[in-house]
Structure 1
Amino acid sequence: MLPNTTAKQLLLWISILMLTLQLSAQVVIGTPNLGFSQACANASFNDYSASFIFSPENALAPSNQFTVEMSDASGDFSQATVVFTSNPGAITISPATVSFSIPETAAGENYRIRIKSSAPIATSAPSAPFASYYKSQDAPFTINNLVETAAFCSGGSYLLTIDNPGTGSNDSPLNYPALTFNWFRETGPTTSEFITQGESLEVNSVGTYFVETNYGTCTSNSFSNRVTVTEVTNGQATAAIVSSLGNPYCPEQGLTTLSTLGGNSYQWFKDGAIIPGATNQMYQTNESGTFSVQVDLGACSASGSINLESLLFDSSINVDDVNTIEEGESLTVTITHLANQPIFEWYLNDNLIADATSNSYEVSEVGDYTVVITETQGCEGSLSYDFIVEEALDPFPAVAQIPNIVSPNGDNINDTWIIPQQFVSGTNTEINIYNNRGTLVFKSNNYQNDWPQTDLGLNSINQVYYYIITTTDNKTEKGSITIIR
């Protein structure tokens, strides 16, 4: 037996050795692979993923946390934003995939991310650069009061501005102070040239102009209507008139706003007679008739007219053009409307449904449907909606073999990779799909027969992916998947 002092010294040396080994433990984190090419987020979508490898796995302490840092728009991490932090000890197996959301301040073309671990401390190399924008306003908006034409006198100019607030449901991007705007002039049916940035554009050359919210290379729905600007060299220009409620319109909806191009002064007429006091760019009315306007442009003038007619009520339907129901299920179809004393008629395959006379109908059969709404008081007339109800496709059909061809072209045939039922949802089978560079692009333990879930960026060349299927009893299936157009 060792003397007491010797035993204590030995325990001390063992403790020092263990601490030294722990302090010297290191982990190497590979460069993160992005699960996307651009991060173009908005209020309804802001979910992105990245995968990474690390080694050795046993170097991680039980308290380790992985974080994902996002650089600024130039790729600089000096003031990085943490967009993901794992729970302590949650990630222990390499490779790993993490999901995160981009900050609402993101706006640039050269963001990067990197992965960091806390125990032991390690940092990966930055990812490839990517464009990242949070689209705080992602809806069409109006300029020039939605008037599609404008004119300037020779030697002069015309100022195009973004409407704020504009009429109707216009979501003016000027309500979002951080946004900037790019103005363009059309150069062809599908081409345009950049003019300048700003909230307005002073035009002194003819052409068709529009403006987009500046979201870089991210596609967006935040764009304006087109305005065609002409030059008046002599005589009068044409002053287009736009009705905010459309034309025809229904007076039951209230006043409609008539708008024309911008000028120095205005005079409105109804059926050829001057409307006293109607001397602004916009005029409101709930009448029908021929409305015209004279616009003073300075060295020249413009005039225009509109034959304003009444229309029916507003209405909407709560289903899509094509809908699906499973056997034994039903679909409640409802018409929301502003009709006075309406009558409803429902048709299935062009046959009147005798007992369907209200604004709602419980659909339990597949087929082609039509509903006709007739207003019997006020703006008398009818509107109709057509929709189709189909039998829902079985998401887990019985297939005998694992397919090696997928054609995601939207024809409901081989659009996704449908595999035998023993590998899908509820079997806890692990599905891993890699691209031809060996990068993991999909992983699931609850596969829903729904890959690919996003556009794979197909070109004229078929793409090949590779899969590994691992069951709970460690049996594997391997093979390739060819994605064809």
Structure 2
Amino acid sequence: MIQKITFFITKCLIFFGAFFAFEPHVYAQEAIAPQTLSGLDKICAGNNFNEYFATFSYVNFPAGTTFVIELLDGASTPIATTLTEVIPLGVGQQTIKFAVPNNLVGANDYGLRVKSSTGYTSTRFKTPAGDSFFPAFFKDYEASFYINDRSDSATICVGGTLTLSVSDLTPEIPGSSPVHFPNVKYKWYKDDVVIAGQSAKTLVVSTTGKYHAEMDYGQCSDVNYGSNRVNVTSSSTGSPVTIDSSLGNPFCSNGSGTVLTATAGNSYVWKKDGVVITGATSRSYATNESGLYTVDVDFGGCSSTGTINLVGSGFNASIDAADSTEIGEGETLSVTVTTDAVNPTFEWYKNGNLIDGATTDTYLVSTIGNYRVKVSQTSGCVASMEFEFKVTGPVEPTFLIPNIVRLNGNYPYWNIPDAYKNADTTVIIISSNGDKVLDVTNYQGDWPQTAIDFKNINPVYYYVIQGDAGEKKGSITVIK
């Protein structure tokens, strides 16, 4: 008996020992261990090269778990990469080949991490130098380029300025100039010394010297991909360029707009927001658009640039009606215009006709139709704007086609069931004289649109409806 009990206790101890031995594996947590990025201390991707490798180990993930590499910006916001290949290295270890996005905005504080399909994310990878942050850029453009329309010389007037611009010599060819890529930044140099704070595609210069530009890809920059060098010299002829606006600045942006006039010179090149305006090569330029306008004036061996930040003025207005509103029999719709216009006037139209007496900011709609309201500012900057809206009636519940139109009712139109209002159905209306007064598809229940000629009797018209729902014929009597 003692032998049996001893044997039973021994089996229990073995069972519980095995249970507790395996219990930690039941509750083991997922873990990912990124390895040091081999030979990678920065990401300098481009159209010619965009593939990188990241190796890591992992444990305690369910079967079928997949992994991806994520970029992290300076604020630790994740940015997806493109997985191009998974390279297994053995149990619990793999290398992922990936590509970075081609719209990546370059910076010096990116990082990498692993994310599993279960939602687990790792710590950041480290470079061989032990850094968790490193530069990452996508170089949209990797070639030499031109400034100053490829010319290596320019003359600046005493007391004036000159704008050097990155050139777009073949705008019809996509990607032929760095100006085609909005993410590209530049470094400008004068006499081989970088000019602080200048990263745009244009540079305004006021002193002589040798200027050139390079694309700024941070630590991924390549000095071999720079511009031509422009020697800017000075001339005593000419004068600083000014630009006058005929309507002042701010200006009233209505009609043909304001006329910009530059200081007199030999030739002119106008630009808006840094982009050359095609065909604008005279002393004056008319516009009704706000923006930063510049003009390069050649005085004959001496060039100078004038600038004006043109601001338009006007008024604001809004309407509280939807594009389309349905009203029922006997219902009305109140529509109001809100505006900050000075001394505003209001004109309301129905089906293109001016509504007599409707001259306030509110109109009460009682019949269906296409409406329009015109708001005008009559003092200061005289301008106007218009709003359109549509008012419809209830949907016909049956296929019954009405044979009477009452012009003095809430619905002074011939409204037919929706089954006949589509692009596959033709609606024809013929007068008693045999004249075809309507021939349309996708009829919207809005006839008549013009005045009906009443004589001694109520006029009678005849309709033909042809479509998928069959052909229907009948008469329509129009009553005042």
| Category of TM-score, reference length = shorter chain | 0.3 to 0.5
TM-score (norm. length: structure 1): 0.40
